[in-house]
Amino acid sequence: MRLHKKRCKRLILLFMTFSLSGCAPFTENNLIEEISPITFLSISKGDKGELKVSTIMPPLSKENKVVMSQEVSLLKEGVQKYNLNFYQEMKSGQMRMLVISDELGKDGIMSIINVLLTDPDISSRIYLVIVKGNFEKYMESQLDKDENFDYSFYRMLKHYEVQNQGELTVVNLHEFKNLLYTPYSDPFLPVFKLEEDGVNYEGTALFKDEKLVKTISSIDDRIFQLINNDHYLAVLPIQEFEVVLGHVRSKIKVDIDSSYSTMTYTVNIDTRIEEYRGEKQLFDPKELENMKKDIETHLEKQTHELLKKMQELKVDPLQLGIQTKRPFSKPMEEKKWSEMYEKMDIKIKYDINIDPLTDANSKRQNL
Amino acid sequence: METHQLFKKNETYNGFYAMLLVNRLQMLYFFLIMPNILINPYMIWVLIAVGILSHLNLLLLSKWLLTRLSSNGYNGFVQLFGKKLVRFLSFIGLFFILLKLSVITLGYSEIIQTFMLPATDTNFLVFFILLFCFYVAGKGVEHTIRFVLISFFCTFWIITFFIFFFFPPIAHLSDLYPLIPMEWKVENWKAFFLILSSYSGPEFLVFLGPWLKTNNKTFRYLSYGNALTVVEYVFLFIASLLYFGSDFLSKSQYPIVNMARYFQNPVIERTDMIMLSFELFNLVFAVSLFLLLFYGASKIAFGKMSKPSSGKGLLFSAFLIFIGMVLVNELFWKSWEKQTFLLNLQIIAGSIGYFLVPLVVVLVMRKRGG
């Protein structure tokens, strides 16, 4: 090559300046002062069947924050309307949460999910959340008290997601999409209720395909965390026996008979008693054994009811259907499975292993 | 200023370089989109089977590389085929190279446009990529071959991140079921040829004979390179099955990049951007090599072998390729259906090239040499 060395170097220098300074021709202008990278979007049903999209602007700078909402028929149209109404351009690269109202959830959210999936700016790690109540009003009331409440909300979800901390359901876009698109499974999302004092976790919303059909809460939700979502609970209070089980870890075993008519669902639990206010002498192995039996029967009954409910609604968030997949045979058709699932006799069996640690109220023997 | 000879031969590279060449030439654009065409878990076996087939191809290739003819370069081919046929074959080869170059460069620039620079025209990206490649190719074949080392170490580590997908909560063994095909559809043939085409690339080593030091260990090194590719492909495919599940896989346009998008890092949020940028090293290496081959082949095809190679000539062929790519981009790549046509064309051309080139060379050699 006869190109002069100096010329070559100049060429490279030119290229470097181009690419490093970000002045490659026709790129998007992402100057931080001129954009507002929103952290969340809240979507609810508008008045005329449209979508109501709201968020807090500006998300970054220390200016006064305002709640902005737009009624649009398409989600991305909302983004465009924001841009026309606000001096900064809206960017979705930092989006962390999508708050969906439960009415919209009942109508189906497939189209919204697809919008998120096709936008390469939006990470598939964003959290999806269902809220009951008017989130927009709630935001307005919160802005005076705590401007960063959106960030705190995000941190909370993040905390429970990492390492599966139990307690609450946390679902990101990727997990939701996988449950939505794979056969033999239905997605679920956490539900939060808006009250005077803040956003309270209510339970888990079960979806039939893209539509919200049922919200499970209290003990049902606890059991759901235990058998599906996290396989771990920090505390499991059982009021009937005045006992609190702590650090509950579960292992699930599912057996389906060859005719697909009966399913045995075995839950192995390792736990310890954290608190007890009843009258039983838990130091006595026999009493402890009785207690264990009682808890087992109680949980079996509760779980059976929960699964019965799921069968009636024809939803399968536990992905029981994948148990029918075999390495060397053709997978069953989804329709056939759902018919079988409805009629299937599900037997629940709990096997609990308890280490008694405290029994503050019991009288000590041999003293 | 010394006059630069692009095709001069001062030193030869040992088997290790041959291994890297085979591996990196096989890991170009197709591995980024492959899972969305393979889809079914049983394709893992096809990946492995075609990998073994590719082994046999490399055996033929190594036979050719071992002969004295191969180290003679152009003259060796003239001895084998005769001058006229070599000119004709080089002319046809030009189209193969242009097609391959267009698919890998345009494919890569489109990914960059989708994930990193959504407002930039892909033609600009192609221009900058070619500018880079022209610089590397301008250093001559020797340095370009040596560049494979940089390309390998800049890109190989990326795959280790994907181990993340092999652990719960993402990994479920049932995502890999059924392991054997229950029915064989027409689309599976496309997947089969895609795999064959993805393994193509090493056939260009046929022309690099003069720069490779060959001995009885050559085949071993070539097959190491190929085995490494098979492992990488199978690894990535299983990872994508675990991440997407085979039902969603066909709906994701760039499965591997989308998976990289899922990584999270407290310091760098968009790890996928960093990985894509490093992938540029591999592309630049391959395109520079093809650029030199294109220049060489056009010299042969137009009967200019007696003239010394020059930077101007290379610049001219780079310019031609740029014009060609912009045309392909505007006419084919930007519309989705035509892009599929072009991809199918490359799938077929790549498969045929990889299958025929070593076979024909060895067969003719046997016939002539007895």
**Would you call A34 helix, strand, or coil by DSSP?**
helix
Q: How far is CA A21 from the centre of its chain?
A: 40
Return mean pLDDT, chain A.
85
- Pair (A238, A112) in one structural domain: no
Tracing tokens 């991440």 back to the chain, one arrives at B243
Average pLDDT in the B347-356 region? 92
CB-based contact B161:B316 (threshold 8 Å): no
Tens-digit pLDDT profile for residues B90-107: 999 999 999 999 999 999
pLDDT band at B224 (very low <50, low <70, confident <90, very high): very high
Amino acid identity of residue B28, one-letter, is L
Cβ contact B124–A2 (<8 Å): no
User: Residues near B260 by Cβ (< 8 Å), separated by ≥ 6?
Assistant: B158, B161, B271, B272, B275, B276
Which residues of chain B neighbour A19 with C-beta distances below 8 Å? 128
Cα end-to-end span (Å), chain B? 48
- On whether residue A9 sits in a domain, the answer given is no
Tens-digit pLDDT profile for residues B261-293: 998 888 888 888 899 999 999 999 999 999 999
The three state secondary structure string of chain B is CCCCCCCCCCCCECHHHHHHHHHHHHCCCHHHHCHHHHCCCCHHHHHHHHHHHHHHHHHHHHHHHHCHHHHCCHHHHHHHHCHHHHHHHHHHHHHHHHHHHHHHHHHHHHHHHHHCCCCCCHHHHHHHHHHHHHHHHHCCHHHHHHHHHHHHHHHHHHHHHHHHHHCCCCCCHHHHCCCCCCCCCHHHHHHHHHHHHHCCCHHHHHHHHHHECCCCCHHHHHHHHHHHHHHHHHHHHHHHHHHHCHHHHCCCCCHHHHHHHHCCCCCCCCHHHHHHHHHHHHHHHHHHHHHHHHHHHHHHHCCCCCCCCCHHHHHHHHHHHHHHHHHHHHHHHCCHHHHHHHHHHHHHHHHHHHHHHHHHHHHHHHHHHC
The whole-number pLDDT of residue B3 equals 42
- Say how many domains are in chain A: 2
- Pair (A63, A203) in one structural domain: yes
The whole-number pLDDT of residue B2 equals 39
Which residues of chain B neighbour A120 with C-beta distances below 8 Å? 114-115, 118, 261
Task: Report the DSSP beta bridge partners of residue A199.
Answer: A194
- On whether residue A124 sits in a domain, the answer given is yes
Q: Which of A3, A4, A329 sits opposite B178 (nearest CB)?
A: A329
**How many angstroms away from the CA of B97 is the closest CA of chain A?**
22
Ranking A330-334, B143-147, B192-196, B285-289 by mean pLDDT, the lowest is: A330-334
On the question of pLDDT at A3 being above 70, the answer is: no
Dist. CA A350–CA A14, nearest whole Å: 70
- Pair (A63, A185) in one structural domain: yes
Cβ contact B177–A164 (<8 Å): no
In this structure, what token pair is assigned to residue B195?
Answer: 């795999």
On the question of pLDDT at A337 being above 70, the answer is: yes
- Pair (A189, A158) in one structural domain: yes
Return mean pLDDT, chain B.
89
Which residues of chain B neighbour A124 with C-beta distances below 8 Å? 258, 261-262
On the question of pLDDT at A257 being above 70, the answer is: yes
Domain boundary among A155, A183, A216: A216
**How many angstroms away from the CA of A139 is the closest CA of chain B?**
28
- Pair (A210, A296) in one structural domain: no
Cα end-to-end span (Å), chain A? 98
- On whether residue A1 sits in a domain, the answer given is no
- Pair (A153, A290) in one structural domain: no
Q: Which of A181, A328, A330 sits opposite B248 (nearest CB)?
A: A181
- Pair (A192, A250) in one structural domain: no
Which residues of chain A neighbour B117 with C-beta distances below 8 Å? 24, 27-28
The whole-number pLDDT of residue A26 equals 63
- Pair (A162, A235) in one structural domain: no
Q: Which of A8, A25, A330 sits opposite B178 (nearest CB)?
A: A330
- On whether residue A203 sits in a domain, the answer given is yes
How far apart, in Å, are the Cα atoms of A343 and each of A211, A218, A259, B192? Answer: 22, 27, 12, 41
The whole-number pLDDT of residue A47 equals 82
User: Residues near B353 by Cβ (< 8 Å), separated by ≥ 6?
Assistant: B96, B200, B203
On the question of pLDDT at A364 being above 80, the answer is: no
**How many angstroms away from the CA of B315 is the closest CA of chain A?**
9
In chain B, whose CA is at the least distance from the CA of A5? B1
pLDDT band at B4 (very low <50, low <70, confident <90, very high): low
Element housing A133 (H / E): none
Percent of chain A at pLDDT above 70? 91
The residue range of the domain holding A342 is 231-324+333-367
CATH number of the domain where residue A251 is located: 3.30.300.210
Tens-digit pLDDT profile for residues A41-67: 999 988 887 888 888 888 777 778 888
On the question of pLDDT at A14 being above 80, the answer is: no
Q: Can you tell me the ipTM of this complex? A: 0.85
Dist. CA B282–CA B22, nearest whole Å: 12
Tens-digit pLDDT profile for residues B177-217: 888 888 888 888 999 999 999 999 999 998 888 888 888 88
Cβ contact B310–A1 (<8 Å): yes
Dist. CA A92–CA A40, nearest whole Å: 9
Q: What phi, psi does B39 have (nearest 5°)?
A: 60, -60
Cβ contact A183–B247 (<8 Å): yes
**Would you call A73 helix, strand, or coil by DSSP?**
coil
- On whether residue A137 sits in a domain, the answer given is yes
The whole-number pLDDT of residue A333 equals 85
pLDDT band at A24 (very low <50, low <70, confident <90, very high): low
- On whether residue A79 sits in a domain, the answer given is yes
Domain boundary among A183, A216, A249: A216
- On whether residue A274 sits in a domain, the answer given is yes
Q: With an 8 Å Cβ cutoff, is A281 touching chain B?
A: no
- Pair (A112, A238) in one structural domain: no
- Pair (A276, A184) in one structural domain: no
- Pair (A73, A174) in one structural domain: yes
Tens-digit pLDDT profile for residues A187-197: 999 999 988 77
Tracing tokens 């409805």 back to the chain, one arrives at A342
- On whether residue A277 sits in a domain, the answer given is yes
Task: Report the DSSP beta bridge partners of residue B361.
Answer: none
pLDDT band at B130 (very low <50, low <70, confident <90, very high): very high
Domain boundary among A172, A191, A216: A216
- Pair (A208, A236) in one structural domain: no
